[in-house]
Homo-oligomer: A and B are copies of this chain.
Amino acid sequence: MADHVDRVLEQWARERPDLDTSPMGVIGRLGRLSRLIDAELRRTFAAHGLDHASFDVLATMRRSGPPYRLNPAELMRSAMVTSGAITQRLDRLEARGLVARSPSETDGRGVHVTLTEEGRALIDRVLPDHLATEHRVLSGLTDNRQGELAGLLRELLESLGDRGH
C-alpha cells in the first residue's frame, strides 16, 4: 500500500539519505489532495456556470445571513486572496447581476456588496450539488476517520494562526 508520495519519499531516501524529507509526507500529500479535490469540485461548479472563485464569494455572502451584505475586505480575509482578486471577482459577479455594489453610508472609502435575489437563488441551487460532491470525495473515509482528519487539520491551522476572526 503506497501512494505517489510514498514513491517520492523512497526516491529521496535513495538520492539524498542525508536529508530528513519526512515533512513531505504531510505537505506533499496536502498539495496533491488539494489539486485532486479542486479538479473534482470544479466540475460541479461548471455544471452551474460557476467557477471556484465565484462560488466562494456567493457562498460567503449567503452564509453571512440576511441582509447578505459584506465588504470587499471581509471577502478578502475569508478567501485569503489579495484585494485585486476580490475586485475582479466582484466585477464579474456584478456584471452577471449576482451581487450589487453600493457605497457605504458611514465610510467614504467603503463599499457594500449585496447578494442579489438572483445570486441567492443560484447559490441555494448549487449548494446541494456541491455538498453531494464533497460527500462523495470523502466517502473513502469513515465518518470517524473524517472527524480525526478534520481535527488534525484544525490543529495545524491554528498553529499557523488561522483563528476565526
- Chain A interface mostly: helix
Given A3-B163, A37-B30, CB of A155 within 8 Å of CB of B140: yes
Which chain B residues border A139 with CB–CB below 8 Å?
159
Q: Which residues of A contact B (CB under 8 A)?
A: 1-8, 11-12, 14-16, 19-27, 29-38, 41, 62-65, 78, 80, 124, 127-128, 131, 134-135, 137-141, 145-150, 152-160, 162-165
List 4 A-B pairs, minimum CB-CB distance, nearest first: A140-B159, A23-B134, A7-B164, A34-B34
A146, B41: Cα distance in complex, Å = 27
Contacts of A1 on B, CB cut-off 8 Å? Answer: 158
